[in-house]
């Protein structure tokens, strides 16, 4: 899919890489912003699926890359994390500034990106409506302690090893460029995401350690203060996110719609005969935005804010 890369200077003297889907948009069409997951980007399967649906519907889209995920090492000794609400805020402020004031902006966050987005929504409360009309979080690790322990256990360690295969080289690059900031020996020896977060994520971003990071960056406590219409989708069979850690309607604000299907895994939600297709998720997201955005012909919102389905 042809995307236009835009390198954006950050307020602190670094840069972001934004990948834009430029289409002959329909009059009044909204813009969909996708915040990717851990070590993801515009080439991730969920990003490609969503961008393909946007193109068919003649809607614009953009994938901002967290620092270090655009393919080029960043200038500053900084990365990204699940509670990176300040980065989300700055990215959305840039997008809002270079977009027509009448354009509705819908924000989607997947996995880590969903956690950071929910952190921002809960902190901003009603002020978030200055930047986005509605939002959605998909497979977000709402309780980082529960999710962090789950990914480092059993067969999930295969996925942890996969993430570490790119996280560790990037972090060793930071350690080499900024001597004394990180302990390269600890980075090389990290075998779990807990150990990696303790050696890299926490010291880079002002946390006392992994447990402090997981406690302070979890988005679950912020669900009760969100004021912008927000869809939160979590499969109950997600291998990284224990179903017991998912919120109930009593733990979220009236602006939040919980959707917890029995199947879907982590950011998968495949449907149809084997091997399945990944159309369900982008269709669900765009239909939700059409509903809460009050577009002509939109369906009525569901009466029950918590949905569980097969």
Per-domain residue ranges of the chain: 4-142+220-307, 144-217
pLDDT tens-digit map of 220-269: 999 999 999 999 999 999 999 999 999 999 999 999 999 999 999 999 99
pLDDT over 90, % of the chain: 88
Residue 300 has pLDDT above 50, yes or no: no
**Euclidean distance between the first and final Cα of the chain, in Å?**
31
Active-site amino acid positions: 111, 238, 266
Q: DSSP class of residue 277?
A: B
Tokens of 36: 């990717």
Q: Which fold has domain 4-142+220-307?
A: Rossmann fold (3.40.50)
- Mean pLDDT, range 282-309, rounded to an integer: 66
**Token digits for 235?**
């499969």
C-alpha–C-alpha distance, residues 258 and 194, integer Å: 28
């Amino acid at each position: 899919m042809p995307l236009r890369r835009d390198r954006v200077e950050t307020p602190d003297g670094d840069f972001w890489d934004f990948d834009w889907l430029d289409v002959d948009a329909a009059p009044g069409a909204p813009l969909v912003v996708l915040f990717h997951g851990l070590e993801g980007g515009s080439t991730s399967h969920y990003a490609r699926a969503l961008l393909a649906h946007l193109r068919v519907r003649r809607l614009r889209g953009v994938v901002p890359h967290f620092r270090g995920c655009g393919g080029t090492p960043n200038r500053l000794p900084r990365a990204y994390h699940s509670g990176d609400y300040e980065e989300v805020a700055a990215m959305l402020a840039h997008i809002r500034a270079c977009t027509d004031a009448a354009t509705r902006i819908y924000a989607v966050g997947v996995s880590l990106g969903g956690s950071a987005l929910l952190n921002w929504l809960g902190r901003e409360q009603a002020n978030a409506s200055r930047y986005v009309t509605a939002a959605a979080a998909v497979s977000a690790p709402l309780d980082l302690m529960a999710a962090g322990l789950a990914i480092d256990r059993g067969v999930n360690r295969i996925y942890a090893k996969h993430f570490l295969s790119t996280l560790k080289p990037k972090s060793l690059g930071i350690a080499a460029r900024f001597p004394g900031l990180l302990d390269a020996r600890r980075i090389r020896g990290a075998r779990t995401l807990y150990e990696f977060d303790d050696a890299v994520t926490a010291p880079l971003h002002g946390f006392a350690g992994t447990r402090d990071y997981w406690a302070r960056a979890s988005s679950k406590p912020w669900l009760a203060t969100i004021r912008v219409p927000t869809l939160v989708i979590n499969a109950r069979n997600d291998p990284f996110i224990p179903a017991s850690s998912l919120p109930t309607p009593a733990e979220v604000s009236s602006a939040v719609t919980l959707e917890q299907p029995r199947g879907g895994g982590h950011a998968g939600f495949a449907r149809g005969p084997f091997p399945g297709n990944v159309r369900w998720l982008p269709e669900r997201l765009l239909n939700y935005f059409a509903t809460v955005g009050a577009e002509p012909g939109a369906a009525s919102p569901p009466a029950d804010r918590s949905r569980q389905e097969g």
